[in-house]
Structure 1
């Protein structure tokens, strides 16, 4: 059972150790148990009671620190802006929401509509306009935004909402008391971190990341290391990256606070996003590589890792034994560059001509040139062709690199620009790009090991590139279409 079914505990202003779950909410009941919460036990002190709207009277009859009522329309209790109940909007399934938006203030819903709820195309824009018009009505937004359910919460002090415990504990790191917030939970696996987008003056100022898994600090350690690399580089790198303000722990669950980016994830803006955003990010990737380029000797450790840990997995699929050796030519190896190493459109936020690359947990000061560029464009340019699942995106991506996709000229132009800027030998480009796909092709395996038996999220198209890339004579280590198309 996924810990994601226990995510509503994260909005509580207090620790949740005991709970009563009423009615047929089996998924939430099991999720809370998986999170270490005593459910429907003999304890006299109940921290949380959860039930459906039809059981609201019974929910309230149980003495507890907080009460939650779930339903597609919570009714009059939700519509009362004052009094003991406070309404929330839940995006997605009621027992496994992907976002939580408090409605007792105007700003969180405004922010959600402007950013998280954005959808490409004219239909999405009309929906967002309708949602903006519904802001004055609060609960009516559930009838406008798709896949919305309602929820009402009764807090320990009736009539006075208080900040979720994770936000209250972050005040020493600069967060205000009882701020506006939107909680995004994603639709990935248990290792995906939940994120509070904390508002000031109606706009996001801080991002609070938190783990569902106790003592799961590795992602936070990597974040801190990656953002330290960014801070040391400064200049053009730091201009489009967040700052880490600090780390802390709440009831054994790790958390951190970073500065917020300027808008929604780029993945939710394409297709439909102006090509200028993609061009700006690509230009920045080239500038970062130029600013941080180091002697080829700085790549020795990374090349050793690729030869030892990555290449053996792909020899049976056609990876040549000398693939890494092709980059070790004396005096003409590629330079090391600062690399994000997970620069998909989901890790770029953008608005108003500005953008920020987020989630630097995979970053390195001595990374492979071209990796960030082809990874980003291999995601952004194929998504620009229309919404699709991983299988279709994979085929589009292969066509992109073959030179037969609408975005191929853009990809090839930027590859040529980076090759020229860094002085990369043209006959090494195919090997560099091949190693990029081989490295990312093992990401699902690494994630599965870290999950230790829990369900994994679906594998994206970029993590599936390695096999088809090696098997295609137009692609593979000899890929050269970028030079002539």
Structure 2
């Protein structure tokens, strides 16, 4: 590592990658533009320069094959890395990666997308130049050959913010196509087999369920490993993440359309997959054994699990937030089924989805606003409270749930999600050695138990506005 390219040292250390300040014998040299000459003289077979376009031309003159990556957005942590040689993929990435409430920014992005699609570089100074003496496909895409990824395909990379144990993904574009055909997810660290095994189990649950649920999900193709790095392959969902769609400059009524579609789908899935009340018994036992003891100091009722004895189990996605829905015109696709359960609490997905997406519809964009909106939404004080309550009444009616069980079912779902979020945080801290702040799932559970008007006795959903 030469110089101080922003964030590289801490990020490489978090991923347990050995760093040397002397480039002799290094597999990869990473440098800022001030140390470009030293990087070129190092003799390393691979060089990455975080800097200007001039760096890529200097690397080419040095005999390297150079890939120019455009980070999107160009300021701050990237959400995508776009290979400018893959014109169609780069255009797709700019068109779908970002949305801004300001119309002029949206117009600017459309212009930039057309420029890269025509092979012209957008007017930005910073590029990531990846240079090698042995050009070819990214190694992680080569691993995926047996799972249907063709050689020489165009691609764009999705970058997950947050902990290093989260996965990135390649969007893989069939030759000559402007939309992705496959997604290759990959671990950013060695040894993340648990994540990929869980995803495989979730895919099996979904395949066995079929019907309305699987019609809105990608097709899982399998997983593979090389040198401790895992990948998985599934069909791609074309379109825009719901999180971006909801931030776009569009009328509220238009932004509400896909939310109503997903809520309607959740009700139909619950109706289609609901079994007998006894099917939920293993889940109730797990909640009583593994989840409720973590929250008993906050005053939860001793008979909380018993309050859902007459509630049937139904398919549960268990992570249905705005980042896991892709919208495309009138259609949508639900991603990331790794936490899926064949017999889960039927209200869990609907409330979790509503909490995450309706705050964006209402303009609660900051983290403090997010927490305030959570409380207001569920107490019936937010602009979108009537929307969420109507969804809940629809599901309660469809499954003929006892109204008195709703508060307990929502409580169990939120505490379960809070416990899962806490375990994920602790596992990530153990893997990387870096402390992490509590995610919204943890904070949400605590708010639910502490805010007046919420908790196991919650009945605000019955109000009709």
How far 1:438 moved relative to its partner?
A: 1.4
Provide, for residues 370-412 of structure 1, a one-character-per-residue CA deviation record: whole Å limited to 9, x for no partner: 1100100111111112252222112112111111211111111
- Go from structure 1 to structure 2 and tell me whether the alpha carbon gap of 1:373 and 1:33 turns closer, same or farther (over 3 Å shift): closer
State the shift of 1:35 in Å. Answer: 4.4
Q: Distance in 1 between matches of 2:322 and 2:307?
A: 30
Q: What residue ranges of structure 1 are gaps of 5+ in the alignment?
A: 1-20, 144-148
CA separation of 1:80/1:241 partners in 2, compared to 1, >3 Å: closer, same or farther? same
C-alpha deviation, 1:33, in angstroms: 5.4
**Root mean square deviation, CA, Å:** 2.7
Alignment of 1:391 with 2:368, yes or no, is yes
Q: 2:75, 2:109 → 1: CA distance?
A: 22
Match of residue 168 from structure 1: 142
Gaps of 5+ in 2: 249-253
CA, structure 1 residues 26+480, in 2 after alignment: closer, same or farther (shift >3 Å)?
Answer: closer
Partner of 2:99: 118
**Stretch moving more, 466-475 or 183-192:** 466-475
Is 1:298 matched with 2:279?
Answer: yes
- Per-residue CA deviation, residues 336-378 of structure 1 (Å, 9 max, x unaligned), is 0000011011111112221111111111001001110010011
Contact 1:120 1:269 in 2 (8 A): no
- Name the structure 2 match of 1:4: none
Stretch of structure 1 that moved more, 199-208 or 55-64: 55-64
- Give the whole-Å Cα distance in 2 for the aligned partners of 1:31 and 1:428: 46
**C-alpha deviation, 1:72, in angstroms:** 4.7
Q: Using the TM superposition, name which of 178-187 and 27-36 deviates more.
A: 27-36
Say which SS state the counterpart of residue 152 (structure 2) adopts.
Answer: coil
Q: Does 1:250 align with 2:226?
A: yes
SS state at 1:150 partner? strand
| Aligned match for 2:346, one of 353, 366, 369 | 369
- Where does residue 226 of structure 1 map in the other structure? 202
- Aligned counterparts of 1:456 and 1:263: Cα–Cα separation in 2: 35
- Count of aligned positions: 453
Q: Name the SS of the counterpart of 2:156 in structure 1.
A: strand
Deviation of residue 312 (structure 1)?
Answer: 2.1
Secondary structure class of the residue paired with 2:115: helix
SS of residue in 1 equivalent to 2:162 = coil
Alpha-carbon offset, residue 156 of structure 1: 2.0
TM-score, normalised on structure 2? 0.90
- Larger mean Cα displacement after TM superposition, 432-441 or 411-420: 432-441
Tell me the secondary structure at the aligned position of residue 246 of structure 1: strand
Q: Secondary structure at the match of 2:373?
A: helix
C-alpha displacement at 1:335, in angstroms? 0.7
Alignment partner, residue 5 of structure 1: none
Query: Does 1:85 pair with 2:37?
Result: no
Contact 2:89/2:156 (<8 A) preserved: yes
Residue pairs, 1:204-243, within 5 angstroms: 204-243=180-219
- 8 Å CA contact 1:189–1:456 kept in 2: the answer is no
The structural deviation recorded for 1:456 is 5.3
Task: Give the alignment partner of residue 428 of structure 1, picking from 400, 405, 411.
Answer: 405
User: For the structure 1 residues 139 and 57, does the alpha-carbon distance in structure 2 shift closer, same or farther, using more than 3 Å as the test?
Assistant: farther
1:311: Cα distance to partner?
A: 1.7
Paired residue for 2:40, among 48, 52, 60?
60
User: Is this contact kept in 1: 2:314–2:345, CA < 8 A?
Assistant: yes
TM-score (norm: length of structure 1)? 0.86
1:105 to 2:79 alignment: no
User: Whole-Å Cα distance in 2 between the matches of residues 104 and 295 of structure 1?
Assistant: 55
